[in-house]
Amino acid sequence: MKVTFFGVRGSCPVSGPAFTRYGGNTACVLVEPHGFETKIILDLGTGLHPLGDHLDGLDWQLNGQRNLKPLTAKVLVTHLHWDHIQGLPFFPQANREGSRLEIYGPLQEDNSLVRIYHRFMSPPFFPVGVWDLKASISLHGLSGNETLTENGVTIKVGVIPHQGGLTLGYRLESDTRSVVYISDHQAPLNWETGYVPESVIELCKDCDLLIHDAQYSVDEFNQKIDWGHCTYDYALTVAKASNAKSLALFHHDPYHSDDQIDQILASVLEKNDGKLERIYAASEGMSIDLNQQSSILSTSF
């Protein structure tokens, strides 16, 4: 199973010289199971735009040439905050004949994900409606206790504490590998005791890679204690408590520069005490192949 990051930022996209190495796009990750054509996309943040370019093989050296192929993909959306859905209107494959996107996300009170997507993607917010796109798009609500399957991949869904609406986490298992995606996670107020909700541990248990919210320092968290996120120390606590093999720090705060993320990674590595095999700070273009001995294959674009 290969995991590639296209958007690693939380809350709001950023650009500029302070963000060139880790990238400024919001949450979007591609998972490709070995031996299957299937593509699974985690969240639809602004990283979806470069993901589309990547799938098209866009080559700026060749005057922007691209290979316009339709896409069949399963999309797993954690929740409906802007930083997790804003890329959809700008995803080239969504407006392409022959594409099929099966989008899963948190069930809404009126049972209608369709109505929610139509609300944010229609005039006056965007010139065309979601149903005007040329791809075949289906939307499916999840309550958080489902198990889905997709061409050799088992997808377990769990509820994750956050703020402002039902939020999901996903565990993907393929052949002998597993990856868990928890993009936004409200730490409990007693997080420094090491407490992790049992449901979170169950979703993450023994996974090969945990991709986890790492938005705040302790000081930042104390100022934004109920904003729906956690400290990068808590990301390590969750990984250790659930016996994860490796951890990717994710959902970087828009106020954290590349140099600050370097320091965050160094401080988490120091606190690891050899428990986890690998710890990464996720960056745009980073690929992790869980079936390879040495995990980082490439920074691919």
Footprint on this chain of Zn ion (rule: CB under 5 A): 10, 81, 83, 184
Residue 276 in tokens: 């986890």
Question: Among residues 233 and 253, whose Cβ is nearest to Zn ion?
Answer: 253
Nearest distance from C-beta of residue 85 to Zn ion, angstroms: 10
Q: How far apart are CA 220 and CA 289, in angstroms?
A: 33
Q: How far apart are CA 23 and CA 42, in angstroms?
A: 17
Nearest distance from C-beta of residue 22 to Zn ion, angstroms: 16
H/E segment holding residue 251: none
Residue 222 contacts by C-beta under 8 Å, 6 or more apart in sequence? none
Query: For 65, which DSSP code?
Result: B
Question: Among residues 191 and 250, whose Cβ is nearest to Zn ion?
Answer: 250
Question: Among residues 181 and 280, whose Cβ is nearest to Zn ion?
Answer: 181
Question: Among residues 10 and 47, whose Cβ is nearest to Zn ion?
Answer: 10
Question: Among residues 95 and 108, whose Cβ is nearest to Zn ion?
Answer: 108
Nearest distance from C-beta of residue 241 to Zn ion, angstroms: 22
Burial state string for 125-145 with b = 16 or more CB within 10 A and e = fewer than 16: eeeeebeebebebebebbebe
Nearest distance from C-beta of residue 160 to Zn ion, angstroms: 10
* C-alpha 8 chain-centroid distance: 7
What pairing do the DSSP bridges indicate for beta strands 100-106 and 72-76?
A: parallel
* Residue number, nearest CB to Zn ion: 81
Nearest distance from C-beta of residue 83 to Zn ion, angstroms: 4
Nearest distance from C-beta of residue 79 to Zn ion, angstroms: 6
Q: How far apart are CA 105 and CA 205, in angstroms?
A: 22
Question: Among residues 48 and 153, whose Cβ is nearest to Zn ion?
Answer: 48
For the chain, how far is it from start to end, CA to CA, in angstroms?
A: 19
